[in-house]
Structure 1
Amino acid sequence: MKKIAIFLLSAGIMMSSCVSKKKYVELEAKQNKTQNLLNSTTVKLNACEADKAAANATIAALEKRVIDLKQDKEDLIKSSKDLTILTQQGATNLEKSLESLKEKDLKINRLQDALNKKDSVTLALVTSLKKEVGLNDEDIQINVEKGVVFISLSDKVLFKSGSYELSVRANEILGKVATVINSKPDFEALVEGHTDNVPYKNGLLLDNWDLSAKRATAVVRKLMELGANPIQLIAAGRGEYVPLVPNDTAENKSINRRTKIYVLPKIDQFYTMIEKELKTLSEEEN
């Protein structure tokens, strides 16, 4: 365009020398018009170039956006698949947890049934002992201690002071105990001797340990004489070391001198079952 303008200008100069004034003015006007057109066209061209650059930038941004959206779509599809897997796994785990809870409930119910059965047996045993032995004597107590039935007999009922020989009255009382034991072949009787803290001075025995043990074995032998099965009988001496009250008065010492007969159900299988179930529950929880 510039070359054309220069050419026209040169031609105009050359022709100005050989054309009339009027013709020259006309040519000069055309040249100015052409120059203005050139300038306008140049401005428009520059504007188009700027618009093109902006459009190219927009296209590049849109292309990048399209790529990002495609990646987002792929990520969402992958996440959806992962979520589906996790949901399936969660449902499976929940189902397993529910099954485990059901199994635990069944085990707990079995344990509760066993405990209820044991409590029923204990109650029946207490009733039987109270009926046979009676409760008219303050020196005879029938009670339950930590789920175990026992008869507590004062030494005044069974023995003379410092002696392990049974009194005449002992035959009557122990005969009733033997009757209960004989009616319960699945039970054991633990005979436990207790003394006060007065040192034993009879040369036949060493100390209160000996005295308490001799009293326990004397009761066991008497129960055997009265027909109790020796397999069901256990003898134990506790000496002065499990007092009910402080050995500070004669009355308290009399309370501590006693013989306890625990009547224990032969429930080894029951306790074994409980221990097994509890162990299983503990292992499942861990």
Structure 2
Amino acid sequence: MKLYKSAPLVLLVAVLTQSCVSNKKYAALQTSYNELQEKSRDLNQKYQGSQQELSGTSSRVKSLEEQIASERSNVKSLQDALAKCLNSSSQGNVNISKLVDEINASNKYIQHLVNTKNKSDSLNVVLTNNLTRSLSREEIKDVDVQVLKGVVYVSLSDNMLYKSGSYEISDKAGETLSKIAKIIKDYKDYDVLIEGNTDNVPIATATIRNNWDLSALRASSVVQSLQNTYGVEPKRLTAGGRGEYNPIAGNDTEAGKVKNRRTQIIITPKLDQFMELIGKAPEAGGQPAKTN
């Protein structure tokens, strides 16, 4: 009879004990979730800064090309003016000498701008060739290297880098990342942006809210691998995620989704050094050439 009465008490203790365990698990998940939110905000801030720097580099390249076109147009105008002076009175002799000097100075500056752009392009070509030659035939299938608007893009497929639906770096990605890290370390005057991209298939887990989180966490994993495993200077690295919003193919086919699930390593010259090259204009007549 006593055993019968104590049975509800035992059951109550068991229920309370199980509830405590669930609360602990919930608290742990909540803490992990909060940390990931904070980390995601930090990554997005760094990413925005890096995007602005990347945009600045592209603008500088475009500005350089516009300067070249403008200077060529200026030379043509000066040559036309010179032709008119040749047909004018003796007063034109002084103007002719001045125009000749201006033409020579403009031609020197045009050549300087062309050489500056060629130097930047040549460095990128050498970097790309060195990286491509270091990869095996198998690795080339999962790695795409391109130079666009003065910037080197190394696109890595998620099949090679990560475990499915995860941001953990896979074992087979190590050798490829080590080769990319060596090139990055060889070119110390370049900054590196790691950019994660996904397809449009939604994801939601206890620690990953959506594709924004997944893309940012994957980029962060590559950054930390380059830093901690392969010794790349962390101050040169930035991690950012673009989620599903930067596709390079349609998401209506599986092949398109595979292309969109990628992580890009974007290697760019540092802006201050690029502007220093442009600012070093040749001298004309003993005076520095104007760069307005």
> TM-score under structure 1 normalisation?
0.62
Q: Distance in 2 between matches of 1:231 and 1:108?
A: 35
CA distances 1:12-64 after superposition (whole Å, capped 9, x unpaired): xxxxxxxxxxxxxxxxxxxxxxxxxxxxxxxxxxxxxxxxxxxxxxxxxxxxx
Q: Does 1:238 align with 2:235?
A: no
Query: Does 2:122 correspond to 1:120?
Result: yes
Per-residue deviation, residues 221-259 of structure 1 (Å, max 9, x unmatched): 000011111122121211111111111012211110001
Conserved in 2, the CA contact under 8 Å of 1:135 and 1:141?
no
Structure 2 contact 197–242 (Cα < 8 Å) conserved: yes
- Provide the secondary structure at the position in 2 that maps to 1:103: helix
Looking at both structures, which has the greater relative contact order when contacts are Cα pairs under 8 Å and sequence separation is at least 6? 2
CA contact (8 A) 1:155 1:258 kept: yes
Show structure 1 runs of 5+ residues with no match: 1-85
1:195 aligns with 2:188: no
Show the counterpart of 2:12: none
Pairwise CA distance, 1:88: 5.3
Alignment deviations for residues 146-204 of structure 1 (CA, whole Å, 9 cap, x no partner): 23222111000111232111111122211111111122222222111111111222232
CA distance in 1, matches of 2:107, 2:137: 42
Name the SS of the counterpart of 1:96 in structure 2: helix
Match of residue 157, structure 1, among 154, 157, 160: 160
Do 1:104 and 1:281's aligned partners in 2 also have CA atoms closer than 8 Å?
Answer: no
**Residues 132, 180 of structure 1: 8 Å contact kept:** no
Q: How many residues align?
A: 196
Match of 2:92 among 86, 90, 111: 90
2:135 maps to which of 133, 136, 139 = 133
RMSD between superposed Cα atoms in Å: 2.3
1:55-106 CA distances to partner (integer Å, 9 max, x unpaired)?
Answer: xxxxxxxxxxxxxxxxxxxxxxxxxxxxxxx845533333323222211111
SS at match of 1:136: helix
Matched, 1:146 2:149: yes
Counterparts in 2 of 1:205-224, with a 5 A limit?
Answer: 205-224=208-227
Partner of 1:256: 260
Name the aligned partner's letter for residue 190 of structure 2.
F
Aligned counterparts of 1:155 and 1:263: Cα–Cα separation in 2? 19
2:14 aligns with: none
What per-residue deviation string (whole Å, max 9, x for no partner) do you get for residues 107-146 of structure 1? 1111111122122211211121112233433111122222
Name 2:111's counterpart in structure 1.
109
The whole-number CA distance in structure 1 between the counterparts of 2:280 and 2:247 is 35
Q: Distance in 2 between matches of 1:172 and 1:144?
A: 23
Identity of aligned pairs, percent? 42
SS of 2:209 mapped into structure 1: coil
> One-letter code of the match for 2:123?
V
After TM superposition, give the deviation of residue 272 of structure 1 in Å. 4.9
- CA 1:93–1:160: 2 relative to 1, 3 Å: same
Larger Rg: 1
Unaligned runs of at least 5 residues, structure 2: 1-87, 282-288
Taking structure 2 as the reference length, the TM-score comes to 0.61
- The answer on whether the counterparts of 2:279 and 2:291 sit within 8 Å (CA) in structure 1 is no
Distance 1:134 1:141 in 2: 13
Give the counterpart letter for 1:144 in structure 2. V
Q: Match of 1:38?
A: none
